[in-house]
Amino acid sequence: MAQQHNFTSHNATEIEEKQGKTYLLYANPGMGKTHTLRHLPGKTLVLDIDRTSQVLKGEANIDIIYVDNQNTWEYWEALLTHLKEVKGKYENIAVDNVSELERCLLSHLGFLGKNQGVPSQGDYQKMQFRVVNSFRWMKNLADRIVFTAWETTDLYTTAEGQQYNRSYPQINQKILNNVLGLCDVVGRLMINPEGDRGFVLQGTNSIYAKNQLDSRKGCKQEDVFLSSTNENTGGNK
């Protein structure tokens, strides 16, 4: 029997507020990415890969799973099955952090290979597919999916010859756009001269950022998970 396809069209005026929201928050180590998870409303599950969750100590609404960072390839697959089984228990799931997850997956694949622990080109491709596919699948598991990542920089030259120092999440270049494209919000955490922390939510030639949920170009650290439709944040009402 031939597969049935659904080609029903929907007018844009019928689009409702997005239910499942996906965030990627990045900064240099020690800037406060993990601490930001304290501000998630509701019950949160943190998948701790880089072992920085001690900053969440005392938060009653946060549960933590310490991801096996040695046998990560097999563990991650089993963890995804577990997340499906507990779907509905948590409003938020946070992966802390993506940069370290990639390294752990590659390290385990290298250990399983025949090149004295060094990952092969095929291992890199396996890692790339697993990361993108698992992140895409996770988007349906909770109201909010949050990824954290370290920050990296490079010197970018445009076709016209202009050069920019760019800041963006430390994610494998082959899948960087795929991962960022899966997210509604990509925010770079920064500290102003007064010591206040906040997120840049609008991209420039020098900073990768975006906000597809509301009109904010930036926000305080504690407000990143709030919508600008909220009376406390202003913006679109």
pTM: 0.89
Q: Of all residues in the chain, what percent are helix, strand and coil, respectively (each to 5)? A: 30, 25, 45
DSSP bridge partners of 165: 155
- Note down pLDDT in tens along the chain; length 237 residues: 677 888 888 778 777 766 689 999 999 999 999 999 999 999 999 999 999 999 999 999 999 999 999 999 999 999 999 999 999 999 999 999 999 999 999 999 999 988 888 999 999 999 999 999 999 999 999 999 999 999 999 998 888 999 989 999 999 999 999 999 999 999 999 999 999 999 999 999 999 999 999 999 999 999 999 976 543 443 332
Domains contained in the chain, CATH given: 18-223 (3.40.50)
Distance CA 94, CA 40 (A): 10
- What is the pLDDT at residue 1? 63
Which residue type sits at 46?
Answer: V
CB 188 within 8 A of CB 169: no
How far, CA to CA in Å, does 123 sit from each of 101, 120, 130, 179, 183? 14, 5, 11, 18, 25
How far, CA to CA in Å, does 1 sit from each of 5, 7, 8, 40? 12, 18, 21, 46
